Structure 1
Amino acid sequence: MLILLNKPFGVLPQFTDNSAKPRPTLADYVSVKGVYPAGRLDMDSEGLMLLTDDGRLQARIADPKHKMEKTYLVQVEGDPDEAALDALRNGVALKDGPTLPARADRIDPPRLWQRDPPIRVRKSVPDHWLRLTIREGRNRQVRRMTAAVGLPTLRLVRWQVGGWTVDGLAPGEWRKVDPQPR
């Protein structure tokens, strides 16, 4: 079984939370028993999460050795020039080593749901949107990559993993799909 979930901003990407002040978790949105996340998506990121009950499928999706593409829509602070985009396309030096080359394009603002809470806006600093596709899955990788080229991330939406997309799902909505690889 494979479930596509549009994880809202501020939701912990796991089914339980043992903190003193409980936070929303995947259990608040998905009532299907026996499924687990295939990959991570930070609490302050939104968009596509894949959940499965198939350990082999989970490994194929999440394990970096399979290099499954993940596409993000990224709202950044600043004005991305060709030098910044080329740096992302060639791989960025991070503290834990260089990233693999990414596909990076400046895009028009996408038609997305409203985020709650909204991003911070500074009138004196422009913001723009990028489409960034990577084949790795390091901790907070997209945020670190954009920061490394001088473009701090304001909003991060995972739009696609492999051939599966969040298109058509509102925040908190999910659906079962065919788990065949794409």
Structure 2
Amino acid sequence: MSSVILFNKPFNVLSQFTDKGLEGSARETLSNYIDVPEYYAAGRLDKDSEGLLVLTNNGRLQQQIANPKHKWPKTYVAQVEGSPRESELEELRKGIRLKDGITRPAEIELIGEPAGLWPRNPPVRFRKTVPDSWLMITITEGRNRQVRRMTAAIGFPTLRLIRYSVGDWTIDELDSGVWRYAE
């Protein structure tokens, strides 16, 4: 029987079960949190990003979620340095040129700080002289570090990035570092 695991990945955790990095490194991996055999991540989430990671034991579903040609929407909450204007957000809505080409149009809105947000360890750096803002961004592709590169391209570097949803699955009622089977 195939099923799906929803995991709220903490900051600084690799999106894989083993660390193939430096010999003797002690980086946290999915195996520090999930002890269920034969499940694999459907797509990736950088170690410095947090939030929803979908795992499945169904190879076909894994490929559908991860492959951009299927256009699964992925929604992120991004804390950015500065206060973008509507005209700057519109550039992202239309698609913006990055080094690897123009992005597909994104849905984006300026939001307040999300309620119930868990603390990040280590905390995001705080600068009294530079404001920060929160954006909700939905994309249908998954280029390497895409959301971070998009916000930087309009002059607002990402300070914290949390994937809120993949398709209809969300991290609602799922604390950081906790997983459950999808219903």
Whether 1:168 and 2:170 are equivalent positions in the alignment is: no
The amino acid that maps onto 1:121 is F
Q: Is the partner of 1:32 in helix, strand or coil?
A: coil
Q: Is the partner of 2:104 in helix, strand or coil?
A: coil
The counterpart of 1:41, out of the listed 45, 48, 59, is 45
Aligned-residue sequence identity (percent) comes to 60
In the other structure, the counterpart of 1:8 is: 10
Q: CA deviation at 1:60?
A: 1.1
CA distance in 1, matches of 2:137, 2:84: 12
The amino acid that maps onto 1:79 is S
TM score, norm. by length of structure 1: 0.96
Runs of 4+ residues deviating >6 angstroms? none
In the other structure, the counterpart of 2:111 is: 107
In the other structure, the counterpart of 1:24 is: 28
Whether 1:148 and 2:153 are equivalent positions in the alignment is: yes
Whether 1:125 and 2:130 are equivalent positions in the alignment is: yes
CA distance in 2, matches of 1:167, 1:118: 22
CA distance in 2, matches of 1:97, 1:169: 35
Q: Where does the alignment leave 5 or more consecutive residues of structure 2 unmatched?
A: none
CA distance in 2, matches of 1:4, 1:74: 20
Q: Is the partner of 2:110 in helix, strand or coil?
A: strand
In the other structure, the counterpart of 1:64 is: 68
The counterpart of 2:101, out of the listed 90, 97, 108, is 97
Q: CA deviation at 1:51?
A: 0.4
In the other structure, the counterpart of 1:55 is: 59
The amino acid that maps onto 1:44 is D
Q: Is the partner of 1:128 in helix, strand or coil?
A: strand
Q: CA deviation at 1:30?
A: 0.4
- The count of residues paired between Structure 1 and Structure 2 equals 178
Q: CA deviation at 1:177?
A: 1.2
Q: CA deviation at 1:22?
A: 2.3
The two structures, once aligned, show a CA RMSD in angstroms of 0.6
Q: CA deviation at 1:50?
A: 0.3
Q: Where does the alignment leave 5 or more consecutive residues of structure 1 unmatched?
A: none
Q: CA deviation at 1:144?
A: 0.1
CA distance in 2, matches of 1:152, 1:140: 12
CA distance in 1, matches of 2:92, 2:129: 25
